[in-house]
């Protein structure tokens, strides 16, 4: 293995780890806070996620000699952010996280179950995801309305840097956010001592509560968006770069690490898609059999970020919530545009996808179950009805 190590893989691994963390950790925090996590529980969740996905990536990449990148479920975090607090509190959310992890493991072990998910119409999965993301993408505009002096620099940094390098657009917005907080927000006198006290991570165990409404409204949609928007595309990225490996063991491993991390506040980890493309590309190494070191380095970076997650939480807690939401919203613009296109570009399924999108985006739930679930059910019902009428 050491003979395969290269400076090129090292640099790509460092860049991938930084981009993967900085481009979406604000979304993760926003999602955890939205479902009732305290600052301590959110810090624990971020730490657990980073360490779990880092170790998982290191094991899979070293074991298979392939650049298998692992990440947290960004669409899943967006789902959390749009769901709101559950009646059972964060314990009910933890129960939903465990349920999702169990389904991911089953998908890897029992192939008929995984294939059933793969047969879910792509347009409906994209429509549900687009509906989840839409309200969050409004946050940058709301931040500018809240305070143009604070909100505009964040949006402009994302816009200007994005013209030259799309991958660095969100990190640029995050840097602008940090500068806005330092120079534009009145910080407490003991800010430095607060940051120093939060250097060492504190893992907080949350006893799960298995509430049926939380499982249906959060756990099941979390599983669907994680599989449809992360795990399956992650496998596609590997195949596109000429890496052949069975999907089942990879799903099982990410589900196992999700199961371990869930009681500490982690919603889900999965195969990466965008960052996977970075590690699997020739930029990581001309020889495809040596690119796995980039994914290993990325995993190490994630573990390091996880150790210092408490510092990030403490600093973000000093900022107005709308500014944190703005960074998260900017990070989701690309995902929203891709999901919206994927939802509506199939003319035969467009009506069903539109209904799924509208019900999900409305944020309205029934019987304590979120709109994401009902939107998907409505879309499936419309497709089934249209096929039945066509057959008649």
Name which residue leads in pLDDT, 233 or 107: 107
Q: Tell me if 392 is assigned to some domain.
A: no
In this predicted structure, what is the pLDDT of residue 66? 92
Contact 4, 297 (CB under 8 A): no
Domain that holds residue 14: 2-387
pLDDT band at 14 (very low <50, low <70, confident <90, very high): confident
Give the chain's domain count: 1
Name which residue leads in pLDDT, 56 or 313: 56
In this predicted structure, what is the pLDDT of residue 340? 85
In this predicted structure, what is the pLDDT of residue 229? 76
In this predicted structure, what is the pLDDT of residue 288? 86
């Amino acid at each position: 293995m050491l003979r395969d190590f290269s400076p090129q893989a090292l640099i790509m691994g460092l860049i991938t780890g930084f981009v993967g963390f900085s481009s979406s950790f604000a979304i993760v925090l926003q999602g955890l806070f939205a479902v009732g996590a305290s600052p301590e529980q959110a810090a624990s969740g971020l730490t657990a996620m980073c360490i779990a996905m880092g170790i998982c990536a290191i094991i899979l990449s070293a074991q298979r000699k392939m650049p298998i990148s692992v990440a947290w479920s960004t669409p899943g975090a967006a789902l959390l952010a749009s769901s709101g607090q559950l009646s059972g509190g964060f314990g009910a959310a933890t129960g939903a996280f465990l349920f999702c992890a169990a389904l991911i493991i089953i998908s890897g072990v029992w192939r008929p179950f995984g294939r059933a998910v793969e047969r879910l119409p792509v347009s409906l999965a994209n429509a549900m995801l687009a509906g989840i993301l839409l309200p969050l993408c409004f946050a940058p505009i709301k931040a500018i309305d809240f305070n143009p002096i604070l909100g505009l620099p964040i949006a402009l940094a994302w816009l200007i840097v994005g013209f030259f390098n799309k991958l660095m657009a969100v990190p640029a917005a995050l840097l602008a956010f940090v500068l806005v907080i330092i120079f534009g927000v009145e910080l407490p006198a003991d800010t430095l001592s607060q940051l120093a006290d939060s250097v060492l991570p504190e893992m907080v165990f949350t006893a799960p509560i298995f509430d049926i409404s939380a499982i249906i409204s959060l756990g099941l949609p979390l599983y669907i968006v994680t599989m449809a928007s992360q795990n399956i595309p992650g496998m596609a990225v590997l195949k596109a770069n000429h890496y052949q490996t069975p999907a089942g063991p990879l799903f099982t491993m990410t589900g196992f690490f999700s199961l371990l991390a869930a009681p500490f506040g982690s919603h889900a980890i999965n195969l990466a898609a965008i960052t996977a493309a970075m590690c699997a590309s020739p930029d990581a190494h001309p020889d495809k059999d040596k690119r796995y070191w980039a994914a290993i380095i990325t995993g190490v970076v994630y573990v390091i970020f996880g150790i210092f997650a408490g510092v990030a939480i403490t600093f973000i807690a000093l900022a107005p919530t709308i500014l944190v939401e703005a960074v998260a919203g900017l990070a989701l613009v690309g995902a929203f545009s891709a999901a919206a296109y994927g939802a509506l570009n199939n003319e035969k399924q467009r009506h069903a996808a539109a209904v799924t999108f509208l019900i999900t985006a409305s944020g309205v739930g029934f019987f304590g179950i979120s709109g994401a679930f009902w939107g998907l059910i409505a879309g499936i019902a419309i497709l089934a009805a249209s096929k039945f009428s066509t057959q008649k």
